[in-house]
A and B are shown apart, each in its own frame.
Chain A
Amino acid sequence: MSYIPHTDADVRKMSEAVGVSFEEAAYAAIPEELRLNRELELPEALSESDLLDYFRKLSEANRRFEGGSFLGAGAYRHFIPSIVETVISRSEFLTAYTPYQAEASQGTLQTIFEFQSLICRLTGMDVANASVYDGGTAAVDAVLMAVGQTGKKKVLVSMGVHPQIREVMETYLAGSDIKLEYAPLSAQTGRTELPEIASDTAAVLVQNPNFMGIIEDGPELCRKAHEGGALAAVAVNDPVNLALLKAPGAYGADICCGDAQPFGNPVAYGGPYVGFLACTQKLMRRIPGRLVGMTEDHDGKRGFCLTLQAREQHIRREKASSNICSNEALCALAATVYLCAVGPEGLRRSAEAGMRNAAYFRSRIAEAEGLELVFAGPHMNEFAARFPKGVAEEFNRFLAERSIQGGYVLDGVYSGLEDCMLLCCTELCKKAQIDAWAEAWQAFKERQ
């Protein structure tokens, strides 16, 4: 099965026109010594039914936690309306390419324009692009924009930024002259403690809410960044929270980035997700990636097209603002459909339900023997809990036996938080699941 439509007669006709046989055509231009003179050694081909059986078995080899999951830490399970799957499965969206031929791509172009508009409305920024790979590379782009704009080479990054985002930034900037410095989190509140901002700082990057689920003092952090002559870049952790939190643009952010996975995209073992990147009008020429603009056709009718393309790699080559070509368009479409489907009221209810569930969970932790909340700062829907020494991992295994997926153990991730676990509640979490978690802790303690 190769999805090839040609009949023997078709093959003959093509061969005759070209003057080379089907068997020889692909080899004709290849020097003999470079030809692969054997079949590829791959597992045998499967029929459709066997294939689906094969994948069904593999998918079932992934553990399902019937008792719920409290894992967040950068990937969030939210309610996904059925309509999202239906729309993104539409052939015309799924199997189209990048909308280079605008007249034949008005569907994709308008949905990207709507995505950009929705991101602007949520983040309070003036300009948003059509998407980047994920929250990690979005943060890299934010840093590069700030360095390009200011000409300065130092970036101050909060330790509240997701450790994997920080790691992606380190990889990208390792060979460059850009230096990353880190601002610690307060051991008491979990909020970022900014040092004096040195005058050679291009940007201050904070995540809000931060990795520990703490709501940062956004206005104060942005004010300090600006006072030090730096740009303020805010990464949003789980943008569902923006239903309740002040928009970064409203408290001084110059650049806002994050991952829109929580809008209609499943956690799917890490991808594909969808990075978003937004900025002020002043930085419009610095933003990398595709942008869709509204314009008119010859007859004065409204239409959409890719614009400001001269910044991009296919025109500017080594002088381009970025190397990005493929982005995460279909995931951005899922986010667009999601936001339109739930609307402002649905998004608010999701965010509030997550907070309410997490608040209840924290109250159970607070009263549980041997457990304590790590930080006293204001929490969104995620929080760190401290366990007695050396039991966090073991307790997670104990939970798994009860078909509950515990939290994200911070051992090896943050020094000083070796015995802590990050726990997350979205609107999908049930009281009974939280109670079961707390009861499991009781049982675990008694067993010891």
Chain B
Amino acid sequence: MEKTVFEKSRPGRLGVMPPESDCPEANIAELIPEDMRRGEAPPLPELSECDVMRHFVNLSQKNYSVDTHFYPLGSCTMKYNPRRNEKAASLPGFTDIHPLSEDKDAQGSLEVMHELQNALAEITGMDAISLQPAAGAHGEVTSLFTVSRYFHDLGEDRNIIIVPDSSHGTNPASAALAGFKVVTIPSDADGSVDLKALKEAVNEHTACLMLTNPSTLGLFEAHISEICRIIHEAGALMYYDGANMNALMGIARPGDMGFDLVHINLHKTFSTPHGGGGPGSGPVGAKGRLAAYLPGPRAVKAEDGSYRLQRAEKTIGRVKMFWGNFLVIVKALAYIRTLGGAGLKRASQAAVMAANYMRVRLKEAYHLPYDRMCMHEFVLSADRLKKEKHIHALDVAKGLLDRGFHAPTIYFPLIVEEALMIEPTETESLETMDAFIEAMLDIAENESSESLAKAPETLPVTRLDETKAARKPVLQWPQ
């Protein structure tokens, strides 16, 4: 157990000191009105620089990460995070530039943004891209603001968003945040959108269908053209949740399938690190008349070759301060410039090949509810293990941790009982995948619910009491 920084603190111990002012002395106390003055220094921990370093390095060693472990977390695309991208993003010309610098003083940053906008437009088949949203869910709600404004301008009263029951939770949550009503439709026996249910759900109040393709089952929507036709004939729009874009780079484009709006996760498909939960970046793309509504400003190139920030004509406005998660944008562009068009395609091909290899090798020991060619990920069910041996998906996950692997995504999508969603990505070697497969087979064959109940046993803590944490939440160190 690592003590908290508050337990390690000692009164009077000094850490790193900032530079001192060389301006004439000022009576600081007098500059602040008395009833706004803090009486005592804020109760921050007092540590030496060495204490701080050791604390955080020790803590870091209690994590699994892509750099230390295979991390087949479905829907999260935990591919290798190239360090050259980090190096590019740490160049002082990028880190030191103030966001309110004049455009002429920020030509390098603006060119980076412009290049990435162009590349993402080409990869997705969209007409225009805004880099402003900070994450995938942020991109979703941004796109739905766009949908809302678009229909408002058309004078159409459309307040319903349709989502499949296999969708990410962020889809309905974003729709609700953007002021829409949500209608959930079931999936059919193949795990695809149920066309009959879709036709019944669509009407003159439908604004948009939000769809992930490949779906969260890792399956390509075979009827996507038909789905788009149904939605478009009703006067509604198609929204592409780009969480699973890693299957499609250079293979197929949402724009060509009939989608009107997309978001892309730079922190999934384009290799920027997840950082323990963020920062991400969730650029949005739009086709045709919708492009005029994108948030911004965005980078545009003038005839003289210079760049400037400019708002789209009917922009929904700003969804974030400044222009986007710029350093993440640098990293994503570095990735795209490293792979090029052919390299991106090869990455998607390898991701799909790897997922199918693992699917085929695991489908006997585990239940594979949708047994056909998958894209970059697939979903197994532990329902048979549960029935036969009382082993749940959670137990499998914890058993994997003890075997040196991060767990797959569990209990998602909601339509598969005891779901285990596995996404190997293209950057894992065959030996790593084989070792993971062996671990999965070993659990299915040799473990029991009793033996797994204690798992994990080799990590810094055993299973945590989440009920206690939620009943009497302790959310900060007591003061």
Contacts of A167 in B (CB 8 A): 317-318
- Chain A positions 1 through 45: 1 when the CB is less than 8 Å from some CB of chain B, otherwise 0: 111111000110111011010110111111101111001111111
B35 touches A101 (CB 8 A): no
Given contacts A58-B112, A320-B176, A323-B140, 5 further A-B contacts (CB under 8 A): A95-B273, A134-B321, A339-B44, A340-B44, A400-B105
Question: CA–CA, A94 to B278, complex, Å?
Answer: 9
Known: A313-B173, A343-B15. A45 touches B340 (CB 8 A): yes
A103 touches B98 (CB 8 A): no
A29 touches B220 (CB 8 A): yes
A2 touches B350 (CB 8 A): yes
B250 within 8 A of A: yes
Question: CA–CA, A347 to B45, complex, Å?
Answer: 11
B53 within 8 A of A: yes
Task: Please tell me which one of the listed residues A17, A93, A347, A428 contacts residue B276 in the complex, with CB atoms under 8 A apart.
Answer: A93
- Chain A nearest Cβ from B436, distance in angstroms: 14
B278 touches A328 (CB 8 A): yes
B253 within 8 A of A: yes
A372 within 8 A of B: no
Segment at the B interface, from A82-90, A193-201, A436-444 = A82-90
B61 within 8 A of A: yes
B367 within 8 A of A: no
Contacts of B100 in A (CB 8 A): 71, 73-75, 408
A356 touches B277 (CB 8 A): no
Question: CA–CA, A342 to B48, complex, Å?
Answer: 9
Per the 8 Å Cβ criterion, residues 42-70 of A in contact with B are: 42-46, 48, 51-52, 54-64, 69
A97 touches B459 (CB 8 A): no
29 A-B residue pairings within 8 Å (CB atoms): A3-B427, A29-B372, A39-B342, A62-B105, A97-B276, A103-B460, A105-B62, A110-B4, A111-B56, A111-B59, A116-B475, A164-B322, A174-B149, A217-B35, A245-B37, A245-B38, A268-B95, A272-B327, A294-B474, A294-B477, A307-B469, A323-B140, A323-B176, A323-B177, A326-B282, A330-B276, A342-B17, A342-B18, A356-B21
- Chain B nearest Cβ from A243, distance in angstroms: 6
Question: CA–CA, A340 to B461, complex, Å?
Answer: 25
Task: Please tell me which one of the listed residues A4, A94, A295 contacts residue B427 in the complex, with CB atoms under 8 A apart.
Answer: A4
A378 touches B428 (CB 8 A): no
Task: Please tell me which one of the listed residues B219, B224, B346, B465 contacts residue A2 in the complex, with CB atoms under 8 A apart.
Answer: B346
- Chain B nearest Cβ from A271, distance in angstroms: 4
A296 touches B464 (CB 8 A): yes
- Chain A nearest Cβ from B140, distance in angstroms: 7
B350 touches A357 (CB 8 A): no
Contacts of B278 in A (CB 8 A): 131, 272, 326-331
B4 touches A59 (CB 8 A): no
Question: CA–CA, A56 to B89, complex, Å?
Answer: 10
Question: CA–CA, A408 to B102, complex, Å?
Answer: 10
A62 touches B94 (CB 8 A): yes
B49 touches A81 (CB 8 A): yes
Chain A residue with minimal CB distance to B478? A117
A365 within 8 A of B: no
B170 touches A323 (CB 8 A): yes
Question: CA–CA, A244 to B42, complex, Å?
Answer: 8
Question: CA–CA, A135 to B273, complex, Å?
Answer: 22
Contacts of A36 in B (CB 8 A): 250-253, 256
| Max chain A Cβ within 10 angstroms of own Cβ: one of B32, B61, B148 | B32
B373 within 8 A of A: yes
Per the 8 Å Cβ criterion, residues 425-472 of B in contact with A are: 426-430, 454, 456, 459-466, 468-470
Question: CA–CA, A274 to B459, complex, Å?
Answer: 30
| Max chain A Cβ within 10 angstroms of own Cβ: one of B46, B68, B102 | B102
- Chain B nearest Cβ from A14, distance in angstroms: 4
- Chain B nearest Cβ from A118, distance in angstroms: 7
Known: A3-B82, A45-B342. A164 touches B18 (CB 8 A): no
Question: CA–CA, A81 to B18, complex, Å?
Answer: 8
Chain B residue with minimal CB distance to A400? B105
Q: What is the number of contacts between chain A and chain B, taking CB atoms within 8 Å?
A: 718
A266 within 8 A of B: yes
B141 within 8 A of A: yes
Question: CA–CA, A425 to B332, complex, Å?
Answer: 33
B15 touches A62 (CB 8 A): no
B353 touches A22 (CB 8 A): yes
Segment at the A interface, from B193-201, B229-237, B284-292, B354-362 = B354-362
A87 touches B463 (CB 8 A): no
Per the 8 Å Cβ criterion, residues 337-387 of A in contact with B are: 337, 339-350, 352-353, 355-357, 359-360, 378-379
- The interface size of chain A toward B, counting residues with CB under 8 Å, comes to 208
Per the 8 Å Cβ criterion, residues 260-276 of A in contact with B are: 266-274
B53 touches A108 (CB 8 A): no
Question: CA–CA, A165 to B318, complex, Å?
Answer: 9
A308 touches B470 (CB 8 A): yes
Contacts of A28 in B (CB 8 A): 373
B101 touches A405 (CB 8 A): yes
B107 touches A353 (CB 8 A): no
Known: A168-B321, A328-B134. A103 touches B340 (CB 8 A): no
B426 touches A2 (CB 8 A): yes
- Chain A nearest Cβ from B384, distance in angstroms: 22
B81 within 8 A of A: yes
- Chain B positions 322 through 353: 1 when the CB is less than 8 Å from some CB of chain A, otherwise 0: 11111110100010111111111111111111
- Chain B positions 218 through 231: 1 when the CB is less than 8 Å from some CB of chain A, otherwise 0: 01101011000000
A168 touches B320 (CB 8 A): yes
- Chain A positions 201 through 218: 1 when the CB is less than 8 Å from some CB of chain B, otherwise 0: 000000000000001111
Known: A3-B427, A89-B86, A302-B1. A326 touches B318 (CB 8 A): no
B401 within 8 A of A: yes
- Chain B nearest Cβ from A209, distance in angstroms: 9
Known: A87-B57, A96-B274, A98-B276. A43 touches B337 (CB 8 A): yes
